[in-house]
Amino acid sequence: MCNDYNLVTNINFEYLLIAWLVNLMRPSFDELKKELNMRNINLSYQRLKVLEYLTQNQCHPTVDHIFTDLHKDIPTLSKTTVYNTLRILVEVGLVRVVTIEDNETRYDIITENHGHFKCESCGTIYNFSMDIDSLTSEDLDNFKIKDKDVYFKGLCPKCLSKYK
């Protein structure tokens, strides 16, 4: 199971503020279930468990993470079911795909615009608030932009404290 956030013991105010803002973006499992019902999407037990997993493990899991953790409790679950469920949730806008590394697709239950920071030491991916819509470029005036993603890489506070 993924850790939601790795908070350091010496947290500064800015870090707490970011964590609080990201917490505001988190959709609840019940809200998402209602949204699926309103869109007439079949709420099978396995689909609900994938959705529940995403709401409880907001660590940007991969299909393998989700499958491995859920398969312990649902031995009949297949990886294909996880892929298909995620595809449907992405299509209806309840989950977003996060691709920070080219070889790794992850999933995020927070669909509001925000950025991601990946620690190059521990591999943890953190959410952070930002106004992505304000990112513009005159060089792209004649382009149709379908998606904007902001990714930073570096060292998180926990890993930085190890090097001090």
93: left (phi over 0), alpha (psi -120 to 50) or beta: left
Asked whether 103 and 52 are in contact (CB, 8 A), the reply is no
pLDDT at 86 over 80: yes
Please report the pLDDT score of residue 15 as a whole number: 46
In a domain, 56, yes or no: yes
pLDDT at 19 over 60: no
Asked whether 114 and 127 are in contact (CB, 8 A), the reply is yes
In a domain, 85, yes or no: yes
**pLDDT average, residue stretch 74-92:** 94
Q: How many domains does the chain have?
A: 1
Cα 90 to Cα 25, 36, 135, 137, 155: the distances in Å are: 17, 12, 23, 27, 29
Please report the pLDDT score of residue 73 as a whole number: 95
In a domain, 6, yes or no: no
Please report the pLDDT score of residue 1 as a whole number: 55
Cα–Cα distance for residue pair 136/115, rounded to 1 Å:
15
In a domain, 54, yes or no: yes
Please report the pLDDT score of residue 6 as a whole number: 38
Domain that holds residue 98: 13-131+142-163
Please report the pLDDT score of residue 22 as a whole number: 46
pLDDT at 54 over 70: yes
The strand pairing partners of 128, in sequence order, are: 115
**Short-list 113, 34, 46, CA closest to 75:** 46
Q: What is the CATH number of the domain that holds 84?
A: 1.10.10.10
In a domain, 8, yes or no: no
163, with CB counted inside 10 A (0-12, 13-18, 19+), is exposed
Q: Between 100 and 49, where is the model more confident?
A: 49
What confidence tier does 11 reach under pLDDT thresholds 50, 70, 90? very low
Q: Between 32 and 82, where is the model more confident?
A: 82
Please report the pLDDT score of residue 159 as a whole number: 94
In a domain, 4, yes or no: no
pLDDT at 61 over 50: yes
Output the CA torsion sign for 129, 133, 136, 142. Answer: positive
In a domain, 1, yes or no: no
144, with CB counted inside 10 A (0-12, 13-18, 19+), is exposed
In a domain, 104, yes or no: yes
pLDDT at 20 over 50: no
